[in-house]
Amino acid sequence: MAATITLLLSLLILMVKVGDAQQVLKLQNPRLMNCRFDKIYQFGDSLSDTGNCIRETLCGANLSCGALPYGMDFYQNATGRCSNDMLIIDFIAVESGLPLLNPYKDENADFRHGVNFAVAGCTALSAKSLAENNIVNIALTNSSLSVQLDWMSSHFQTTCSPADCPEKMNDSLFLVGEIGGNEFIYGLSQGKTMDKSRRMVPEIVQTIIHGVKRVIGFGATQIIVPGNFPIGCHPIFLTKFMTNISTAYDEYHCLKDLNNFAIFFNRNLQQAIDELKKDYPNITLIYGDYYNAFLWLLQNAGSLGFDNNSLQKACCGIGGEYNYDVHRRCGAPRVPVCVDPSTHISWDGVHLTQNAYRWIARWLIDDILPKLNCQV
């Protein structure tokens, strides 16, 4: 009886949550519903994780996203999302008329409408490749992209056969990423030079492309491969690489070198996607332009309800010009949260607030919808 009541309460909360998301987006007619997706599959890191990392022993123990104030606006429930509330994938699911994606590691979850394989702190490269590049994964998770793809393989073995999997995937949307950004966050934070980080880009991009090929092998026909945000605008890097040299910053007070690095990575990824399209002309492969979505948000922040004086300050944080201290991060004792997270772009110095993800999701959907095989 108690289990039944708990299940009913969980379903009620989910229904209310989806309704809230639709209200937040002011959806009259959710645009992605025209695509008639029946399932969504997500691979990636903390930008997309809805609860996998907190279910891994080492990763969860080292992840602050599993406790308040993370999820503080998600019915005071820390689900493992590295934000105060919903992520881009949540808004994409709502716009598709589907429930929020459950994490693969939740053994009791309903996966009829897709699975979220993303793990906070993960990398595109394997643990072995990270070690060869002298990078330590401080999140203590080995659930790299290849591991997530193995999870997908195991999941499909229980839900469809090799003969009918491709047909069942016809109406599914796959998001392979964002992933690959943590290699640079870890590397740069551990003293790796920009030049050495650039040398890693081809290997990371090819790892992502290999992952896309595996997804196609299972029957995926509609795939989005997101790039990276302009990392030079994030409080974590603005704090670490702070300088008095004014020419180091652009007109938005973002660090030029770091943003140029993100552009370099994204261009390599875009080129690889374009090459892959030649081999799979019948597959819809779309580059998810996170970089320009973020820049659009930054350029229009004031008119979208954000506080122009806090655009590069973490909402949950303490100290310094950007309200970020690597030794006293969000979730640590006596680290405060801003009064209104919706007025901030950055949630904790690394991840964004729900309101930022909401607007970025809207920009992305506007950008990708004409490229999808949908009746609009």
Q: What is the pLDDT of residues 177-204, one digit of tens each?
A: 999 999 999 999 999 999 999 999 999 9
> For all residues of the chain together, what is the average pLDDT?
92
The CATH number of 38-371, from 3.40.50.1110, 3.50.50.60, 3.30.1490.20, 3.90.230.10, is: 3.40.50.1110
Lowest mean per-residue pLDDT among 14-23, 81-90, 144-153: 14-23
Residues labelled as active-site residues: 46, 348, 351
Give the burial class of 150: count Cβ atoms within 10 A of its Cβ; 0-12 exposed, 13-18 middle, 19 or more buried.
middle
Quick one: pLDDT at residue 4? 41
Joined tokens for residue 169: 């995937």
Residue 12 has pLDDT above 70, yes or no: no
What are the extents of the domains in the chain?
Answer: 38-371
Residue 15 has pLDDT above 80, yes or no: no
Quick one: pLDDT at residue 374? 82
Q: What is the DSSP string of 334-365?
A: T--B-S-GGG-SBSSSSSB-HHHHHHHHHHHH
Taking only Cα atoms into account, the Rg of the chain, rounded to an integer number of angstroms, comes to 20
Quick one: pLDDT at residue 202? 98
Q: What is the DSSP string of 161-228?
A: -TTTHHHHTTTEEEEE-S-SHHHHHHHHHTT--HHHHHHHHHHHHHHHHHHHHHHHHTT--EEEEE--
Quick one: pLDDT at residue 22? 46
Residue 23 has pLDDT above 70, yes or no: no
Quick one: pLDDT at residue 10? 41
